[in-house]
Amino acid sequence: MLTRSLAPVVAALTLLLPGVAPSQEELTVYPSNIRPKVIAVPPFATADGTDALGEGTFSDVILRNLQISGWFTPLPDPRLASQQDRSDRARGQTDFAEWGRIGADYLVRGTYAMSSGQIVADVEVFDVSIGQRVIGRRYERIASQQRDMAHAIADEIVETVTSERGIAQSRILYIAQSGPRRELAVMDCDGGRQRNLTNDGATVMAACWGANNTEVYFTSTRDYNPDLCGIFLDGSELWYISRLPGLNLSPSWNPRTQRIALTISRDGNSEIYTMNRDGSSPLRLTHDRGIDSSPCWTPDGRQILFTSDRASGRPQLYVMDGDGRGQRRLTVRTGNNYNDGASISPDGRRVAFSSRLDGQFDIFVMDISGADSSWQRLTNHPGDDEDPFWTWDGQHLVFSSTRTGSKQIHIMNADGSNVHQLTTRGVNLSPVAEPLPPTR
Amino acid sequence: MRSPSPALVRTLTLAVLASSVLAGCSRAPRNHWWQFWRRGAPSSVSDMDIAPGAPGSRPYGDLAGSSRLDGSLNPDVLAFDPGQLGEPEAIRSSPDGLLNLATVYFGYDSASVDSEGQRALRQNAEWIRANPGVSIRIEGHCDERGTEDYNYNLGMRRAQTVREHLTALGCDESRLHTWSWGELRPQDPGSGESAWARNRRVQFAVWTTE
């Protein structure tokens, strides 16, 4: 893995820049509190002038990932970057004063070349204000991993400048609908490399990341019942976890408890259960006549958020202990009488969910306490925004939205700003971001 | 751990259909449900040759999770929607019509069966009791307004409510299987109150025949 080879460099950079070691506290500082840095990424020069990356040039992928990070924004006119880059190359030196004048805080410049199945990129990143190089290194990968390389470069830039690890190397599980079929799919965090993990013509209804970040648990009708299945992230193997008659829906895996929370409907209506990842030791946590659905483990494994319509006949968010005790309602706000799809932030403090207000669904966040005063509306757009899910860094939310006319997946900063559309073809829904950063 | 190959599923599907065709081929042509099977009917005699004799009606596994492959039809293939044929109520006059079962409609965010629905269910129960060889899949549907996830649950609750009614009306519980499409398969693709009302429903499909 590239990340492994990056480790010494990142360590060295960290040593060079005192006080930039990431800490847990810093994770709660959202990028929106900080003015995004303007970054110029002129096209990388290639020896033969070819565009090696199929979907956009190398520099475009890097720039898009920097934008999605929320820490960077491009020059207002990207042509300025190309012009100034040509001018610099002609003169044989970098005119930092001119880069500063056109508005750049940072400049990324690189070359790449393909040879015998390898891609080699030399990348330099400059802090324009002080005219100094903050990154200068060579990346090498096999050609099929060009995108991984571009993501790694973006992440290294984010980390070098902000001291926070980026999410460009994260992946997103989702459900891709084509005609009546819904298949399990995965893509890069910027919407690149969309690929199906299943292709059996059945209906996939829900999915979550499982053990080791290599297993995926999902609900599929492939064997004539909405069963909970497992599959490896590379699409290999496929096994059954829970095949109780009726729904085996909405899995949520917690690595601390090593248990899957899910919805099971065999008892006459939907109830929350937990079970081991092989389906053993099922434990029923809810016992009431209403629908109990969409469980979501808190990161510490102590509590489970879920949806229930037991009180009002409308779905509301609830919380309970991991063994089912202490069930209490979280959402009681007047006007928001339909709340569903809770996702809890990695620090366990904030809950994102979809709530209906004025006839449309929008993404809201609130404290784990549910207090009215902590509610924050993140989206307010014609169309329905649903299924929010936090990225592992707690700085972003992926969600589905019908704002473009069809249901598609988007990503935004955790304060609702910086929205980027990730899918465009067909119908795509239920995004689930990778819960952990890549190991290194 | 069992994962039926697509070929096997298809073969069994065709085999079960083939046995149905054979059972009905001596009668005059009627609007049987398989004729509307949009992916095509059994294509050759060899398909029929491998029809398993009287496939057991075991669509539901037990707790241990036995496969529902034996004798059951692929639900996606069987997602027959009479509404698309301009006959939304699916009432057919033929005494042996396999889909002689009325659709039941629901109020918004509700799984309660109103008086009209109860009338339909009494009629359906009569038919189900008179056709003991058929297992039924009760399919719950929702309108598009809720969340995807809650609607899968609501659709299932509608199906379960209908199953309870039919059981109370004397139908054999073991032949009634519940299923939810959530908001995935609307009867009316439009938006607005009339479309939503048509989409909040439970319809019936044949699950297995003996």
| pLDDT, block means (10 residues), chain B with 210 residues | 39 36 35 31 28 29 29 35 31 44 93 95 93 89 95 97 97 94 93 94 78
Mean pLDDT calculated for residue range A367-392:
94
pLDDT tops 50 at residue A55: no
Structure tokens belonging to residue A231: 């599959």
| R_g of chain A, CA atoms, integer Å | 23
Average pLDDT value over all residues in chain A: 90
CB pairs under 8 A between A and B: 113
**What pLDDT score was predicted for residue A48?**
63
Q: Looking at the predicted complex, does its ipTM rise above 0.90?
A: no
A99 CA to centre of own chain: 32
**What distance in Å separates residue B94's CA from the closest CA in chain A?**
28
Altogether, the residues listed in chain A come to a count of: 440
Which chain B positions have a beta carbon within 8 Å of A263's beta carbon? 153
**What pLDDT score was predicted for residue A359?**
87
Structure tokens belonging to residue A347: 């620090």
Residue A283 in contact with partner chain B when CB distance is under 8 A: no
Domains of chain A: 6-23+180-433 (2.120.10.30), 37-162 (3.40.50.10070)
Residue A224 in contact with partner chain B when CB distance is under 8 A: yes
Instruction: Please judge whether B149 and A243 are an interchain contact, meaning their C-beta atoms are less than 8 angstroms apart.
Output: no
Q: Tell me if the pTM is above 0.90.
A: no
Instruction: Please judge whether A429 and B4 are an interchain contact, meaning their C-beta atoms are less than 8 angstroms apart.
Output: no
**What pLDDT score was predicted for residue A20?**
36
Residue A203 in contact with partner chain B when CB distance is under 8 A: yes
Which candidate in B150, B157, B161, B178 is best for mutational testing of the A interface (most A CBs within 10 A)? Answer: B150
Closest CA to A329 of A297, A370, A292: A370
| C-beta of residue B138 within 8 angstroms of C-beta of residue B98 | no
pLDDT band at A114 (very low <50, low <70, confident <90, very high): confident
Instruction: Please judge whether A293 and B150 are an interchain contact, meaning their C-beta atoms are less than 8 angstroms apart.
Output: yes
Instruction: Please judge whether B76 and A201 are an interchain contact, meaning their C-beta atoms are less than 8 angstroms apart.
Output: yes
Residue A406 in contact with partner chain B when CB distance is under 8 A: no
Cα B17 to Cα A119, A148, B12, B55, B57, distances in angstroms: 54, 48, 8, 11, 14
B-contacting residues of A 36-75, CB under 8 Å? none
Task: Supply φ then ψ for residue A323, to 5 degrees.
Answer: -100, 5
Which position has the higher pLDDT, A49 or A98? A98
Mean pLDDT calculated for residue range A66-81:
93
Instruction: Please judge whether A294 and B149 are an interchain contact, meaning their C-beta atoms are less than 8 angstroms apart.
Output: yes
Cα A219 to Cα A262, B37, B107, B202, distances in angstroms: 10, 26, 28, 22
Which position has the higher pLDDT, A239 or B51? A239
Instruction: Please judge whether B148 and A245 are an interchain contact, meaning their C-beta atoms are less than 8 angstroms apart.
Output: no
**What pLDDT score was predicted for residue B98?**
52
**What pLDDT score was predicted for residue A49?**
57
Residue B150 in contact with partner chain A when CB distance is under 8 A: yes
Which chain A positions have a beta carbon within 8 Å of B148's beta carbon? 386-387, 429-430
Instruction: Please judge whether B76 and A221 are an interchain contact, meaning their C-beta atoms are less than 8 angstroms apart.
Output: yes
From B67, B79, B150, residue closest to A340, measured CB to CB: B150
Which position has the higher pLDDT, A301 or A116? A301
Task: Supply φ then ψ for residue A387, to 5 degrees.
Answer: 55, 50
Q: How does pLDDT run across A183-233, given as a tens digit for each residue?
A: 999 999 999 999 999 999 899 999 999 999 999 999 999 988 999 999 999
Structure tokens belonging to residue A374: 């902590």
pLDDT band at A382 (very low <50, low <70, confident <90, very high): confident
**What pLDDT score was predicted for residue B180?**
96
Place of tokens 């025949």: B209
User: Bridge-partner residues for A248, per DSSP?
Assistant: A264
